[in-house]
């Protein structure tokens, strides 16, 4: 008979052999993965709060320094135009480097040898990521539009309001998928290793233990991200914590029950 709910591993997974013993003997594999999904959903809340705060701070404080330099841009029949001398350059307010170039006169046709990331020509929008990759969009695919500061500020406000809400389910799903893959790999590796030592723990049992034993590393990662703690070689720290608690979980099922 189960003594613990899916709430108890949130703290008991750090120390309780009794918890891991019950997970191995009483919990179903499906319940353990439901717990892992719930943990992923819970652990992403602080991260989303932090990310939402960072996005809001950038939009409120930094974005206006760029948007304020932007002229009104009209796109009609696949061609862009502005009412300003060209090439028109939007600069980084901190160092004066070009960020965006607008030139519909044909004087500037590429971003080669330029520090700018965006180039708007008469009929194309060209971007590059600072490396070798360059993308180009034909303005005929955009349709007729007029871009001005007020419209962009409205877009930014909508983005600030909905960004975290829209991203959250995708982040949870990606995290759950990654952690589930970890469980499968750890269970497979553990099954092979324990078989060589003639320890009788089957694959499904190891999956259950693996799902719950990931709790400490997920919680530690959540705290590191939320408090912005600089950790050298975080992947190594994660691997050591995960491996250590999986070993602890396996030993809990073979040793005497302890709290």
Q: How far is CA 27 from the centre of its chain?
A: 30
User: Mind listing the pLDDT tens digit for each residue in 64-85?
Assistant: 999 999 999 999 999 999 999 9
Q: Whole-angstrom Cα distance, residue 77 to residue 143? A: 7
User: Mind listing the pLDDT tens digit for each residue in 42-61?
Assistant: 999 999 999 999 999 999 99
Q: What is the pLDDT of residue 128?
A: 86
Q: How confident is the model at residue 256 (pLDDT cuts 50, 70, 90)?
A: low
**Relative orientation angle of helices 17-26 and 234-254, to the nearest 10 degrees:** 70
- Domain ranges for the chain, please list them: 9-55+158-254, 71-147
pLDDT at 257 over 60: no
Q: Is the pTM of this model over 0.85?
A: no
Q: Whole-angstrom Cα distance, residue 30 to residue 111? A: 53
H/E run at residue 136: strand 134-138
b (16+ CB within 10 A) / e for 217-247: bbbbbbeebeeeeeeeeeeeebeebbeebbe
Q: How confident is the model at residue 196 (pLDDT cuts 50, 70, 90)?
A: low
| Residue 249 in tokens | 């979980």
Nearest C-alpha neighbor of 40 from the set 145, 140, 170: 170
């Amino acid at each position: 008979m189960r003594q613990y709910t899916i709430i108890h591993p949130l703290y008991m997974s750090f120390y309780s052999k009794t918890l891991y013993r019950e997970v191995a003997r009483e919990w179903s594999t499906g319940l353990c993965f439901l717990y892992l999904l719930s943990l992923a959903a819970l652990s992403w809340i602080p991260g989303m709060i932090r990310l939402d705060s960072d996005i809001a701070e950038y939009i409120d404080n930094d974005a206006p320094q760029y948007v304020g330099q932007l002229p009104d841009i009209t796109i009609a029949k696949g061609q862009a135009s502005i009412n300003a001398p060209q090439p028109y350059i939007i600069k980084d307010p901190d160092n004066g480097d070009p960020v965006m170039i607008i030139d519909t006169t044909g004087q500037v046709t590429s971003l080669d040898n330029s520090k700018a990331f965006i180039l708007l020509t008469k009929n194309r929008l060209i971007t590059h990521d600072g490396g070798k990759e360059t993308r180009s969009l034909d303005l005929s695919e955009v349709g007729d539009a007029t871009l001005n500061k007020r419209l962009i500020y409205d877009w930014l406000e909508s983005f600030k309001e909905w960004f975290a809400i829209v991203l959250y389910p995708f982040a949870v799903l990606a995290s759950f998928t990654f952690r589930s893959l970890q469980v499968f790999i750890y269970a497979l590796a553990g099954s092979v290793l324990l078989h060589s030592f003639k320890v009788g723990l089957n694959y499904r049992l190891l999956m259950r233990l693996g799902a719950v034993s990931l709790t400490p590393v997920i919680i530690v990662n959540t705290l590191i991200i939320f408090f912005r703690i600089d950790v050298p070689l975080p992947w190594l720290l994660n691997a050591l914590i995960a491996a250590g608690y999986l070993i602890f979980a396996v030993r809990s099922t073979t040793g005497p029950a302890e709290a």
